[in-house]
Amino acid sequence: MKKQMTALNWAALILGLLFLYIPIILVIFYSFNESKLVTVWSGFSTKWYSDLFQQDGIWSATKTSLLLAFSTSTFAVILGTMAAFALVKFRRFKGKTLFSGITYAPMVMPEIIMGSALGLTFVALKFSTGFFTMMIAHITFTMCYVVVVVQSRLTGFDRHIEEAAMDLGADGIRTFFYITLPMILPAIISGWLLSFTLSLDDLVIATFTTGPGGTTLPIWIYSKARLGVSPNINALSTIMIGIVASIVFLVTLINHYLSKRREEDEKNAHREIA
């Protein structure tokens, strides 16, 4: 029997999605509002967008955020992939329980605990806080997401293919570049993107580990948002939502294309065998 959607199911779905999307839609809507009063609609205008770009510190905050997210995700991918390999390849090693424990723990630890622990550590060790301390903190909390993504890909693929390549005379480096890397590359890319967005979005851990000159975009937005609603934050939010939505759309499109290609390749392969 096919599962049936009842009227109640439909209602739950529609109300749920409305709840999720109304706030986002309102932000976009009011970013084009002429009035300074956020909730009074007085006509279409894009003046808050030009106003936004004249704000102090927004460019340097954006630059800091992008640079931080870029370097964080790159290092997190390297460390995370190593950890995932270690967890999948080596069944047993000394301290594996502790190792897997501390790889997953940052995911469930409330940000404020991790942030304060790391922030106080940097103070205790007399590290001068700033960009690099933020980067260390971000790598630590994003690498576990990379581990999860890469690990699931590694356990999913048939390791006999690697062995076959080795048997046919490929050395370690060749096997890695011809077989292993292309197979886990989608996981590495999504791990990278995940760390990038997590780092770009983080406010709590950044505020605890930042120092002079280390203002990220969330920190900048937060300092403005604390003072109440201002239309140029709506404009900034709309730009960010637009960028994220188009990236997600693009990634989905690429994934769709790749999986279609793979299906076709498999079909062709079957035909050739037959």
Partner 1 sequence: MPHRQQGVGTFTGIMAEIASRLNFTHRRLLRFAPYRFLVSLGHSHRFLIGVPYLWLTLFFLIPFLIILRISFTEAEIASPPFSNLLAWIDDGLLQITVNFQNYMELWEDGIYIHAYLNSVKIAFFATLLTLIIGYPIALAMSRASKKWQLFLLMLVILPFWTSFLIRIYAWITILSPTGVLNNFINWVGMGIGLIDPNSPVTLQILHTDLAVYIGIVYGYLPFMILPLFATLIKIDDTLVEAALDLGSPPLKTFWTITFRLSLPGVLAGCFLVFIPAIGEFVIPDLLGGSNVTMIGKVLYDTYLQGMNLPLVSAISVILLLIVLIPIYIFNRIQAKQFN
Binding residue (CB under 8 A) for partner 1 from 137, 148, 165, 184? 137
- Answer yes or no whether residue 26 interacts with partner 1 by CB under 8 A: yes
- Answer yes or no whether residue 106 interacts with partner 1 by CB under 8 A: yes
Binding residue (CB under 8 A) for partner 1 from 42, 50, 59, 113? 113
What crossing angle do the helices spanning 217-225 and 181-201 adopt, rounded to 10°? 30
User: Judged by CB, which is closer to partner 1: 22, or 164?
Assistant: 22
Interface with partner 1 by CB under 8 A: which range of 47-55, 56-64, 153-161, 193-201? 193-201
Distance, C-alpha 20 to centroid of its chain: 20
Binding residue (CB under 8 A) for partner 1 from 72, 129, 140, 151? 140
CA distance 110 to 117: 11
User: Judged by CB, which is closer to partner 1: 60, or 116?
Assistant: 116
User: Judged by CB, which is closer to partner 1: 60, or 197?
Assistant: 197
CA distances from 173 to 88, 162, 231 (A): 19, 11, 54
- Answer yes or no whether residue 208 interacts with partner 1 by CB under 8 A: yes
User: Judged by CB, which is closer to partner 1: 51, or 201?
Assistant: 201
The dihedrals phi and psi of 126, each to the nearest 5 degrees, come to 55, 35
- Answer yes or no whether residue 253 interacts with partner 1 by CB under 8 A: no
> Binders of partner 1 among 57-96, rule CB under 8 A?
79-80, 82-83, 85-86, 89-90, 93, 95
> Could you tell me the two tokens for 271?
């035909």
User: Judged by CB, which is closer to partner 1: 124, or 274?
Assistant: 124
> Could you tell me the two tokens for 198?
């997590």
> Could you tell me the two tokens for 10?
């439909």
User: Judged by CB, which is closer to partner 1: 11, or 167?
Assistant: 11
> Binders of partner 1 among 213-252, rule CB under 8 A?
218, 221-222, 225-226, 228-229, 233-234, 237, 240-241, 244-245, 248, 252
SS3 content of the chain, % helix, strand, coil (to 5): 80, 0, 20
Q: Name the minimum Å distance from CB 137 to partner 1.
A: 7
Binding residue (CB under 8 A) for partner 1 from 124, 168, 273, 274? 124
Taking the chain, what is the end-to-end CA distance rounded to the nearest angstrom? 36
Q: Name the minimum Å distance from CB 214 to partner 1.
A: 15
CA distance 253 to 173: 32
CA distance 262 to 183: 12
User: Judged by CB, which is closer to partner 1: 86, or 161?
Assistant: 86
User: Judged by CB, which is closer to partner 1: 60, or 241?
Assistant: 241
- Beta strands, E only, 130-219: none
What track of x and - describes contact with partner 1 for positions 152 through 191 (by CB under 8 A)?
-------------------xxxx--xx--xx---------
- Between CA 225 and CA 29, with CA 62 as vertex, the angle to 5 degrees is 50
237 class by beta-carbon count within 10 Å (0-12 exposed, 13-18 middle, 19+ buried): middle
